[in-house]
Structure 1
């Protein structure tokens, strides 16, 4: 039996493009259910999507993460295709993304390749590369385009993923979730086009860039609390020792502590270091328990029906990495 495929399209004021997006994905994935999630649009986005044949859902709480939280909760499918409604992503690449997930990947990322001068601005390219490098440095692995809004996801990935971020942090959070669970990730190069005339981007380069960076930092602390708080404790302890050594030598020579404020500061830093290490140990235990719960949710769901049953013994748990399917790497 072929896996059920659902296309999830979060939208905010995309009346100019949404009908074309729905038609293009209907042509690329004729058996897929197309769901448009209208996030308080002030134009005719919902009406145009409905006329084009999509199932339209209204999401009151503002923000892309709020939309995807509702989409992942409400839509039932074996494979989910997540794509923006601005007609910049290539619908023809959806088949390759779905094939990657059907072949064994839990997430297939559409790596953007600009087809026009203004499609993928240099500042956005630089920011994406920087964020990808930071993510790879902090989590040991990464992907080429962590901010791509074009992805295919397995049911196991979606239903074990608690959406906690706000705004445009959903892509980074999804990437960290799959990396933290050691899920197979694939990448598919896909054309990335310019917005049509009259359509405007909702992104603010600096504001949203800082939000994504803050999201990555928050996720690092949440996923690796012992590293963060343990590293902080080590730095504080070293500073405390460096401040205390001259006082110790003076005390051994004279029996006096002439710089009492420095002694108090050194003692305070040592106490804060001990508290930081204790917090790291406690939070690390909490994080392990949370990760085990997500893993149990992942294992409780079957793999897509199209997966090769000969590899079932290795697909019951997340793998370190994978390259599957035509066009996957």
Structure 2
């Protein structure tokens, strides 16, 4: 990676917090309120995948009351990665300088967002990390922790990325970073979407910083994690790792 200390970073510009939703009717109003309180200058984009529980309607009500809240209505449930990619495109088209990933369920605490944005002043990408010193999780069963830690470790070792929490989804990107990652080539939809962006950032030489966060298990609604998502993550990460090693042996450019 490039040494961030040797690079001059320009001003961050306007920040857009992208919150993908599917059946988060119980959570959308509280999380939007917390983001607005934590970073009053930021805008919010709710990217709703046509939630049958009315999440999109509640988001529209919030947007009607607050000009800094926006809603992107999507056709249906297409996966976390697709929702974020749509949000990134929307944010870039509307000239935001910082684009943030954040869950709707409160597991990513908006009150920690100012620390991520402060760190981004000297970085290309900032990750909210559970697995660096100072990071922690609250109210997770042990099996969830083992899966998450194991997934990050497996991905880090196989892909050779020096990131402790490579699967985490609380992130702040500079616009220029996203534009340099080749988003049009990203096909991963679920859990491994975060791994894909992290490996691309490292491979492109961007300066990546991890900031410790406290990750809190959701209190309302159902987790979107499934066996299919885990299987997709496992085979994609394995394919990327094997492909990377093959390219090095053959002297080809990494993909």
Matched, 1:93 2:103: no
Deviations 1:216-261 (A, max 9, x none): 123224544324xx5xxxxxxxxxxxxxxxxxxxxxxxxxxxxxxx
Matched, 1:59 2:74: yes
Separation (CA, whole Å) in 1 of partners of 2:225 and 2:20: 14
In structure 1, which of residues 212, 220, 226 is the aligned counterpart of residue 241 of structure 2?
Answer: 220
Matched with 1:209 is 230
The normalised TM-score by structure 1 is 0.64
In structure 2, which of residues 91, 101, 120 is the aligned counterpart of residue 75 of structure 1?
Answer: 91
Is the alpha carbon distance of 1:59 and 1:83 closer, same or farther for their aligned partners in structure 2, counting shifts above 3 Å? same
Consecutive unaligned residues of structure 2, counting only runs of 5 or more, are 1-10, 64-68, 131-135
Three-state SS of the structure 1 residue aligned to 2:224 is coil
Three-state SS of the structure 2 residue aligned to 1:131 is helix
Is the alpha carbon distance of 1:100 and 1:63 closer, same or farther for their aligned partners in structure 2, counting shifts above 3 Å? same
The normalised TM-score by structure 2 is 0.82
* Structure with more helix by fraction: 1
What's the RMSD between the two structures over aligned residues? Answer: 2.0
Matched with 1:185 is 208
Deviations 1:101-148 (A, max 9, x none): 12x2111111232232xxx23222212222222223223333222221
How does 1:1-329 map onto structure 2 within 5 Å?
3-53=13-63, 54-60=69-75, 62-76=78-92, 77-102=96-121, 104-112=122-130, 113-116=136-139, 120-161=140-181, 162=183, 163-197=186-220, 199-204=221-226, 206-227=227-248, 230=249, 280=250, 284-285=252-253, 287=254
Checking the alignment, whether the CA contact within 8 Å between 1:11 and 1:39 is kept in structure 2 is yes
Q: Greater Rg, structure 1 or structure 2?
A: 1
Checking the alignment, whether the CA contact within 8 Å between 1:172 and 1:215 is kept in structure 2 is no
Checking the alignment, whether the CA contact within 8 Å between 2:117 and 2:172 is kept in structure 1 is yes
Deviations 1:282-328 (A, max 9, x none): xx24x4xx6xxxxxxxxxxxxxxxxxxxxxxxxxxxxxxxxxxxxxx
Deviations 1:58-82 (A, max 9, x none): 1225111111111111213111110
Consecutive unaligned residues of structure 1, counting only runs of 5 or more, are 231-279, 291-329
* Structure with more strand by fraction: 2
